[in-house]
Structure 1
Amino acid sequence: MHKPLLTTDFLDRARTHYGDDEAVVATTGERFTYGELGERADRFSAALQERGIEKGDRVAVLDPNTHYHLEAAYGTMQTGAIHMPLNYRLTPDDFSYMLEDAEVDAVYADYDFADKIEPIREEVPAETFITNDAESVDGEWEEFDDVLEAAGTEYDRPEMHEDEIITINYTSGTTGDPKGVCRTHRAETLHAYLISIHQEIRDDDSYLWTLPMFHVNGWGHIYAITGMGAKHVCTRGVDAGDIFESVRKEDISYMCCAPTVLNMLSDYYEENDPTTTGENDIRIATAGSAPPEATIRTVEDEFGWYLKHVYGATETGPLITTSDARRTFDDDSGDRFAIKKRQGIGFLGTEIRVVDEDGTDVARDDASIGEIVVRGNQVMEKYWNKPEETEEAFTDRVEGYYHMGDLATVDENGMISIQDRKKDIIISGGENISSIELEDTLFDHPEISDVAVIPAPSDQWGETPKAFVVPESGDPDDPGVTVDDLVDFTRDNLAGYKVVREIEFVEELPTTATGKIQKYELRQEEWEDEDRMVGQG
């Protein structure tokens, strides 16, 4: 038998079996059952259709982790329209590009971020603009709750197919313009099934939203938590004290945190000695480059939480590997931390390889380095309107695999460990930052002759952008501009998290015989006291 795999099934299941159970603890203090969440999603669906939104249209959502985001996402998908979550840390220019590129038809924006959309409204194709506090927002915006009340609950759910695109998630533009990652019902559904298994999600879980919902649909947790009938505890940002308070008050059992957030929690714990659990045991997932071993030790031995290290990319769902291979370590042994730092082994149904430049698998000696490539049902369909980039992503070293751009080794158990990056990407506090974008921005300053930006180690962020600047004066001791001036210059022209934090004036940059800047030499020097040239951010 073949039954289509649709993202709408997750809320449908929760309404059927958990309709009277608590679904959402809102940031406003309200609490909604799955029946109430479903009704609000229905009303949003009806409202969209009243405004002309049809199957295949794009609806952008710019929101922190609130109940409105969940309602807008499911309300959009129930109409067959494409859900497009946006990173609220970006600039109006970023949003203008994305909304135009995807030809977005409607926008819902939280009141804290609507001012980033208002300046570009005339530049984008959308005609519907909804917010959750219209009185506090400049311009003509419809009020979310008023829209729901007026709409009613009746809407037409069209026939949908599992191979149709249902979400577009834009990358951070680390190698040029941002790319819209297109994901189908099938890919989203199977990824949610996989994290339900590997993250051990249950109907009695209380999940704290410390991970942005815009990050690949909250790593698929908007589906998995909902479909399993667990509870969403919403947030409007990450604050260490608030996290510990929510853990105690809401008996949190599961959450996801970037390594930066784990460091924040560790620092807060040392200074304030908070209660670290409620009535439930806690599982916590962290992703990408591993946290320092000391942080993992604090989380497990001091907080009493169980840490799972996972790995992936926007294009892969995102999650494709886990270090939670319990036959490889003893829960009572300190040796487990070395394994938990690894990116790990592939999820069920996911083929992970590490290949050299010829596409040949490297030896399982934990020394030979190659690029990680992946094949699995959770991998994206394509990039929106970018066929050449799509083809390259799946054909560079080996045909039919998505190429991650990360360089790794493999041990005898097939567990991967990232060693370096193929592309010039800086991961700071869980956000991807393009060194090329930073260089282009700094080049616009009249006092800069040449510049190279690399990731530098940071205790707080894992990595932070560092610029090596050749001043126009040619004299690093008298550059004609201050470090603070250049930091402010990047702050004025880029999203806040992309600001260059460290600057070093130099007489010249290392180059090859053909004049190409050798960033590898700069990274080697910057990371010489570290165990690898990859941060924990």
Structure 2
Amino acid sequence: MVNIQFAEEFYMANEALKHFRPTQASIPPREVNYRLQLPSGVPVHIHALNPLAFLLRAAQVYPNKLALVHPDVPHPVIYSYGVWTQRIQNFAYALIQAGIKPADRIAIIAPNIPAVAEAYHGVLGARAVLCAINTRLTHGEVAYILEHSESKLIFVDHEYTHLVKGAKVPVIVINDTGREDDPYEQFLTSGRKFSGERGWPGLEWERDEDAPCALNYTSGTTGRPKGVLTTLRGSYLAAIANAYETGMGRDSTYLWILPMFHASGWCYPWAITFAASAQICLRSVSYPHIWHHLLNSRVTHYCGAPTVQIGLINAPQARRLDRPVHAIIAGSAPTAHLIGELEKINIIPIHVYGLTETYGPSTKCYYQPHWMSLSLEERAKLLARQGHSFATAEDARVVFQPKEGDSPDAPLVDVPKDGKTMGEIVFRGNIVMKEYFKDPEATRKAFRGGYFNTGDLAVWHPDGYIAVQDRSKDIIISGGENASSLAIEQELAAHPDVLEVSVVARPHPKWGERPMAFVILHPQKAAKWKGRHAEFEQDLKKHARGRLPGFACPEWVSVVDELPKTSTGKIQKVQLRKLVAKL
């Protein structure tokens, strides 16, 4: 059971939770040993890093503390750390009973539900590798990932079974009920029986911290998706960094808005357990539900792209919070308007940057105290930078891009820290992927010069902060000048009537390329420009001319109702370029 001290707000808000009882197999024995069996020959001074350790410690120290609640569904569930850890132990034994061997891949296709959070830990208990798959992919894309990953077992939420139709390996359906007759719960119960009550000491600790932990597939916008293979060590250190850099602790509550399938949920499944925090699962990005929890459930942290934050501040339920909430923002830089609106409602933006290949976030724009004396616009420009590397990472660098004919092993050369010279961001060290799965050639290209080459173009400021200018494919080359689409977007977003904007290159007969802006008008200003989009275009261009050089001012402006986005809310410029190609 869950101690009422830690779960009162959820019981009060949801009558069904008062009557919820975990399955019998989820109840831990009276005395629990949370130490796994150590492999022979491990030196006394070595403890192989593994993020599963965070869960075991949290359960040992705080067995009755709230671990996870899933309240906004027909069958809500709530678990203490003691109960939740038992469920994860059952998961691991059930995998072994199903014939899963160390390093085998296990696929899961589901929204943000307890089963996914459990999989991120239970798979490690069986020394296997989790492959969480984007629920927004097509059947064909999912089939490719299942085949390429060679997944031996598939877990699928009941709403997404169509994505695994015809699968050649066993499929376990998750009805997301927490009840005994749920196929997923039956799987866990079978694991408990198979364990023979051997408990955690019946499972073996992975001796190699460089062993695979997760396999995450990139979006594949320029071809087949690539499988990013991460390690136990990297996941452990990335999780610690996330908790430290965002101030998570025992009294924190994390709200799942970011999909757990995206880059291992930016390693927050393990950051939460490292901090012994509570977590709230949401099946979908529902602003009424999000605001309910921000106002009533003591939420302290959540992750989301700027577009998610925009939806949040413009929701009808939006109001100032009586306690600060930390919003971890990545995907693109927050604008001055967005930062100002978040601050007004007591949401503190934490701007981070990273890629799937860097375990999600790996740099942070560290706030300097003297910035508080600056104007909002000046402060926002500083906060929009990507900053410095995380505490557990090696320093990020900005280096000159290779010239044609350069050796892939040639030493990398830093750009000057002048805030002007553009180069490419590169990483190496603790929180960089191990490799692209079964793709040595792509791995070799990505690791040019002994660093992971991100493809993101940036400048390096005198204070050491890096600032992304664009993806290399998104730079607009107009009349021989390089224009950053991100920098243009930052300035256009300062127009008071703009809600969201994205800029891409469009062919121009004289200048080669010119910027084209796709704009969503602010809901409160849309009526003002109804039937007058041509006038708005001129007004936005006038605004741009006061802030941007001529070659960076948009030549065309298109007012749209929505922008194409990924599952994490990141704007898909590849789709906008396809639209432009037809013009």
1:146 corresponding residue in structure 2: 186
Determine the C-alpha separation between the residues in 2 that align with 1:423 and 1:497.
12
Please list every run of 5 or more consecutive structure 1 residues that lacks an aligned counterpart in the other structure. Answer: 136-140, 429-434, 436-451, 462-486, 488-495, 508-537
Alpha-carbon distance, 1:319 to partner: 1.4
SS of residue in 2 equivalent to 1:24: strand
Amino acid at match of 2:278: K
Per-residue deviation, residues 433-453 of structure 1 (Å, max 9, x unmatched): xx9xxxxxxxxxxxxxxxx9x
CA contact 1:58–1:105 (8 Å) conserved in 2: yes
SS of residue in 2 equivalent to 1:72: helix
Trace 1:113-512 onto structure 2 (pairs within 5 A). 113-118=160-165, 120-122=166-168, 126=169, 128-133=170-175, 143-152=183-192, 154=195, 156-160=202-206, 161-268=208-315, 272=316, 274-277=318-321, 280-300=323-343, 302-327=344-369, 329-330=371-372, 333-334=375-376, 335-348=378-391, 349-358=393-402, 359-395=412-448, 399-423=449-473, 457-459=518-520, 500=575, 503-504=579-580
Determine the C-alpha separation between the residues in 1 that align with 2:516 and 2:97.
48
CA contact 1:263–1:460 (8 Å) conserved in 2: no
Determine the C-alpha separation between the residues in 1 that align with 2:176 and 2:462.
58
SS of residue in 2 equivalent to 1:329: helix
**More displaced stretch, 496-505 vs 344-353:** 496-505
Determine the C-alpha separation between the residues in 2 that align with 1:497 and 1:424.
11
Amino acid at match of 1:310: V
Q: Residues 339, 361 of structure 1: CA spacing in aligned structure 2 closer, same or farther, 3 A cutoff?
A: same
Alpha-carbon distance, 1:239 to partner: 1.8
Per-residue deviation, residues 487-521 of structure 1 (Å, max 9, x unmatched): 9xxxxxxxx989946735768xxxxxxxxxxxxxx
Alpha-carbon distance, 1:25 to partner: 1.0
2:133 is the counterpart of 1:93: no
Per-residue deviation, residues 181-228 of structure 1 (Å, max 9, x unmatched): 111100000111111111111110011011111111111110011121
Determine the C-alpha separation between the residues in 1 that align with 2:164 and 2:572.
19
Alpha-carbon distance, 1:317 to partner: 1.0
Larger radius of gyration: 2
Trace 1:48-63 onto structure 2 (pairs within 5 A). 48-63=95-110
Per-residue deviation, residues 284-319 of structure 1 (Å, max 9, x unmatched): 11013212210111001x211111100000001121
CA contact 2:313–2:342 (8 Å) conserved in 1: yes
CA contact 1:323–1:344 (8 Å) conserved in 2: yes
1:431 corresponding residue in structure 2: none
CA contact 1:65–1:237 (8 Å) conserved in 2: yes
CA contact 1:244–1:276 (8 Å) conserved in 2: no
Q: Residues 505, 225 of structure 1: CA spacing in aligned structure 2 closer, same or farther, 3 A cutoff?
A: closer
CA contact 1:258–1:287 (8 Å) conserved in 2: yes
Determine the C-alpha separation between the residues in 2 that align with 1:327 and 1:134.
46
CA contact 2:239–2:268 (8 Å) conserved in 1: yes
Alpha-carbon distance, 1:344 to partner: 1.3
Q: Residues 460, 159 of structure 1: CA spacing in aligned structure 2 closer, same or farther, 3 A cutoff?
A: farther
Determine the C-alpha separation between the residues in 1 that align with 2:176 and 2:59.
30
Determine the C-alpha separation between the residues in 2 that align with 1:44 and 1:298.
43
48, 51, 59: which is aligned to 1:15?
59
CA contact 2:157–2:176 (8 Å) conserved in 1: no
CA contact 2:113–2:176 (8 Å) conserved in 1: no
CA contact 1:343–1:415 (8 Å) conserved in 2: yes
SS of residue in 2 equivalent to 1:351: coil
Determine the C-alpha separation between the residues in 2 that align with 1:55 and 1:101.
18
Alpha-carbon distance, 1:337 to partner: 1.4
Alignment TM-score, normalising by the size of structure 1: 0.75
Alpha-carbon distance, 1:347 to partner: 1.4
Q: Residues 42, 319 of structure 1: CA spacing in aligned structure 2 closer, same or farther, 3 A cutoff?
A: same
SS of residue in 2 equivalent to 1:183: strand
Determine the C-alpha separation between the residues in 1 that align with 2:187 and 2:582.
57
SS of residue in 1 equivalent to 2:250: coil
Determine the C-alpha separation between the residues in 1 that align with 2:306 and 2:581.
30
Q: Residues 273, 223 of structure 1: CA spacing in aligned structure 2 closer, same or farther, 3 A cutoff?
A: closer
Amino acid at match of 1:121: A
SS of residue in 2 equivalent to 1:220: helix
SS of residue in 2 equivalent to 1:264: helix
CA contact 1:22–1:34 (8 Å) conserved in 2: yes
Q: Residues 498, 53 of structure 1: CA spacing in aligned structure 2 closer, same or farther, 3 A cutoff?
A: farther
CA contact 2:243–2:274 (8 Å) conserved in 1: no
Alpha-carbon distance, 1:411 to partner: 1.2
Amino acid at match of 2:67: A
Amino acid at match of 1:294: H
Determine the C-alpha separation between the residues in 1 that align with 2:308 and 2:277.
23
Per-residue deviation, residues 369-394 of structure 1 (Å, max 9, x unmatched): 00111122010001100011111101
Identity of aligned residues (%): 32
Amino acid at match of 1:50: Q
Alignment TM-score, normalising by the size of structure 2: 0.70
Alpha-carbon distance, 1:249 to partner: 1.7
Alpha-carbon distance, 1:174 to partner: 2.9
CA contact 2:103–2:127 (8 Å) conserved in 1: yes
Determine the C-alpha separation between the residues in 1 that align with 2:205 and 2:115.
25
Q: Residues 459, 345 of structure 1: CA spacing in aligned structure 2 closer, same or farther, 3 A cutoff?
A: farther
CA contact 2:266–2:359 (8 Å) conserved in 1: yes
Determine the C-alpha separation between the residues in 1 that align with 2:573 and 2:396.
31
CA contact 1:162–1:185 (8 Å) conserved in 2: yes
Please list every run of 5 or more consecutive structure 2 residues that lacks an aligned counterpart in the other structure. Answer: 1-44, 403-411, 476-484, 490-503, 505-512, 523-561, 563-570
Amino acid at match of 1:292: T
Determine the C-alpha separation between the residues in 1 that align with 2:387 and 2:521.
24
Alpha-carbon distance, 1:42 to partner: 1.3
Alpha-carbon distance, 1:281 to partner: 2.0
**More displaced stretch, 418-427 vs 225-234:** 418-427
Determine the C-alpha separation between the residues in 1 that align with 2:516 and 2:89.
46
Amino acid at match of 1:92: H
Q: Residues 203, 386 of structure 1: CA spacing in aligned structure 2 closer, same or farther, 3 A cutoff?
A: same
2:534 corresponding residue in structure 1: none
